[in-house]
Amino acid sequence: MPSRNSEVRGHGSPAPAVTRASAVLDALAQSVTGRLTLSDLARELGIPKSSTSNLLQALEDAELITRVGSDYALGVKLVELGAAYLSRRDEVREFYRFCEAAPLLKGETVRIAMLDGDNVIYLARYEGHPAVRLTSNIGDKMPVSLCAVGKALIAKLHDHDLDRLYPDEAVLPVLTPKSLRTGAALKAEIGAIRAQGYAFEDEESTLGVVSLGVAVPTHGSHGPSLGVSVTALQATFSDAQRAAMVQELVDLSKMLGNPMG
């Protein structure tokens, strides 16, 4: 049975093969296990297995995908391409320069993230604190409700957009006993975040770890897209440390929002 997305998997595209190749990579990225069979991918594309097999062979030859037994998975070439993309983003280069020079952040774990619907995608990570080991790597996604940077970003949205994304009864993902569980609970924090200018995550994604997040200032009608966060151990975290970290995060966010400032 053809995929419900088959109508956009090449039909009407000026380069159907490229469109279908992109669909293969998307399907593998969204797979729970990270692996799909030839049959799975043919069904996703809505084209015959023979055509899908030829497409997969071309992607495998380019190292964009790889074979794992009878399954297919994303290939190492994508890591190289992603690293090349990130290394050329002005925001990421400036992020590392700032962290290395900042009196406090240079000794902490700092990340820059991009808003993507109800998730954030981590674009870069500065490891200044070897004691804090994070599970999220560059390119990983994290639900907005589980991270300080995500909450800081959605706090910049209009209330009607928040209600649309997070109705009161919405059930949120849970990683620890402290994770927020409903849309209503998430929105209840927004007022405080807006008033203080930063978001706080209190062991909501990892027990023993807290985080502070700030949105990067943006101009125009488009919503916030980038944010920065710093992570610390809850056992050694203090109000004085919080104030100093927030100030450096604010300075970093202003620099990223206006590198020429």
Whether the per-residue pLDDT at 8 is higher than 70: the answer is no
The per-residue pLDDT for 2 is: 39
CATH code, 242: 3.30.450.40
pLDDT band at 261 (very low <50, low <70, confident <90, very high): very low
Residue-wise pLDDT for 81-132, tens only, equals: 766 665 556 667 788 889 999 998 998 889 988 888 889 988 888 988 665 5
Total tally of structural domains belonging to the chain: 2
**Per the domain annotation, does 1 fall within a domain?**
no
Examine the domain organization and report whether 68 and 22 are in the same domain: yes
Nearest residue to 134 (alpha-carbon basis) of 162, 164, 103, 113: 113
Element (H, E) at 27: helix 16-30
Q: Where do the DSSP E strands lie in 64-118?
A: 65-68, 71-74, 109-116
pLDDT score recorded for residue 133: 58
> What pLDDT is stored for residue 52 in this prediction?
93
Same domain (yes/no): 144, 28: no
Domain boundary among 33, 59, 79: 79
Q: Is 17 helix (H, G, I), strand (E, B) or coil?
A: helix
What mean pLDDT do residues 226-253 have? 91
Mean of the pLDDT values across residues 25-50? 90
Asked if residue 208 is part of any domain, the answer here is yes
CATH of the domain at 21: 1.10.10.10
Residue 244 has pLDDT above 50, yes or no: yes
Residues 73 and 94 in one domain: no
**Residue 30 reports pLDDT greater than 90:** no
Does residue 158 share a domain with residue 96? yes
Are residues 244 and 202 part of one domain? yes
| Average pLDDT over every residue of 187-195 | 94
What is the Cβ-side half-sphere exposure of residue 180, based on CA atoms within 13 angstroms?
A: 25
Range of the domain at 159: 89-257
Task: Looking at the structure, tell me whether residues 105 and 62 fall in a common domain.
Answer: no
Q: Is residue 84 part of a domain?
A: no
Same domain for 220 and 170, yes or no, is yes
152 and 192 belong to one structural domain: yes
Domain co-membership, 176 together with 212: yes
What's residue 79's pLDDT? 66
pLDDT band at 198 (very low <50, low <70, confident <90, very high): very high
CA angle 29, 83, 210 (to 5 degrees): 75
> Is the per-residue pLDDT at 137 higher than 90?
no
Higher pLDDT, 139 or 222: 139
